[in-house]
Amino acid sequence: MDMKDVAEKGLVLLGCGKMGSAMLQGWLADGLPATSVWVKDPYPNDFVQRAGVHVNADLPASPAIVIIAVKPQMMADALPVLAAMGNGTTLFVSVAAGISIATYEGMLGSETPIVRAMPNTPAAVGKGITAIVANAHAGDDGLGAAEGLLQAVGQVVRLEREEQMDAVTGVSGSGPAYVFHLIETLAAAGEAQGLSADLSMALAKATVAGAGVLAELAEETPEQLRINVTSPNGTTQAGLEELMDPANGLPPLMLRTVGAATLRSRELANG
Ligand SMILES: NC(=O)C1=CN([C@@H]2O[C@H](COP(=O)(O)OP(=O)(O)OC[C@H]3O[C@@H](n4cnc5c(N)ncnc54)[C@H](O)[C@@H]3O)[C@@H](O)[C@H]2O)C=CC1
Ligand SMILES: O=C(O)[C@@H]1CCC=N1
């Protein structure tokens, strides 16, 4: 299956809130015709209503792909409308945190091709990263189709085991929020040193965005890039001695942060 099949047979998006809209924005920008998309969402947002996609219309009987992007807690209410598409050729791709492939097989039928995916919101600007894993019925074809679709909104990595998905969620699914909070706290710290709110936010945003692009494009590791900024006994060293403090700095805090998110992903599996 390729994007042409998706354009011909249709893509159904169950739930189109923040994550669904981020991906849809990316797919439409990549050339997927809006008329090939059916959104099912009781509260469609302004973007969805203006996107030219079918909104809460009758669904095609056998679309190429169904993307499940409702909250884990809404799954039991939302999924039954799609049950008739199970055990067929329609590929289901779920982005919901914590919901296992086995749970979908239980709700849609054990012969349903299913890909479990964990994207992130930078997908809206084509800079997402999505991890994917498939059941046996989806196989390489299904993985390839999901990969093709998700590559339109950023990078895609294949996981070896579904169990890795909880930690992936803790790192890259939730990760943009950690980075946005880094921007918020960097800007607040600049204000505390006497800068205006606007100037400090402009400096913080550009610094995080610029460092991100440099980390992505440079041949050096992030560690080396950090060392390159750090003059011996200079300002960065003074700052990093606080940030990298093994007892109270970022390393133990990040361990706890990712640990808590990973644990929550495991808990969501149990309702
Ligand atoms: N927001 C993020 O950064 C990421 C979210 N996810 C996953 O994406 C899923 C959606 O998360 P968000 O987009 O953040 O939540 P959201 O609350 O923004 O979107 C959920 C959408 O589902 C709709 N909805 C509610 N009941 C429904 C039903 N019965 N049928 C169809 N649609 C229904 C809501 O109206 C809403 O538009 C979750 O499962 C989450 O784990 C995955 C990766 C990143
Ligand atoms: O917070 C959540 O549960 C979802 C999953 C990853 C990002 N947002």
Q: Same domain for 41 and 152?
A: yes
Residues of the domain holding 201: 175-268
Compute the distance between CA of residue 201 and CA of residue 178 in angstroms, rounded to an integer: 16
CB atoms within 10 A of CB 233: 7
- DSSP structural state of residue 89: S
Please classify residue 69 by burial: count the beta carbons closer than 10 Å to its beta carbon, then call 0-12 exposed, 13-18 middle and 19+ buried. Answer: buried
Q: Same domain for 57 and 126?
A: yes
pLDDT in tens, the chain (271 residues): 777 888 899 999 999 999 999 899 989 988 999 999 999 999 999 999 999 999 999 999 999 999 999 998 898 899 988 989 999 899 999 999 999 999 999 999 999 999 999 999 999 889 999 999 999 999 899 999 999 999 988 999 999 999 999 999 999 999 999 999 999 999 999 999 999 999 999 999 999 999 999 999 999 999 999 999 999 999 999 999 999 999 999 999 999 999 999 999 999 877 6
Please report, in range form, the residues annotated as the binding site for NADP(+): 14-19, 69-72
Q: Which atom of ligand 2 is nearest to the CA of 121?
A: 7
Q: Whose CA is nearest to atom 3 of ligand 2?
A: 97
Q: Same domain for 110 and 240?
A: no
Pocket test for ligand 2, best of 75, 129, 169, 263 (most atoms within 8 A of CB): 169
Q: What is the pTM of this model?
A: 0.94
In the structure encoding, which two tokens stand for residue 249, read together?
């700095």
Q: Same domain for 27 and 90?
A: yes
Q: Same domain for 138 and 209?
A: no
Number of domains into which the chain is organized: 2
Looking at 136, 165, 194, the residue that finishes a domain is 165
Compute the distance between CA of residue 39 and CA of residue 27 in angstroms, rounded to an integer: 13
The structure tokens 């060293």 sit at: 237
- How far does the centroid of ligand 1 lie from the alpha carbon of residue 242, in Å? 38
In the structure encoding, which two tokens stand for residue 240, read together?
């990093």
> Ligand 1 pocket, 82 CB below 6 A?
no
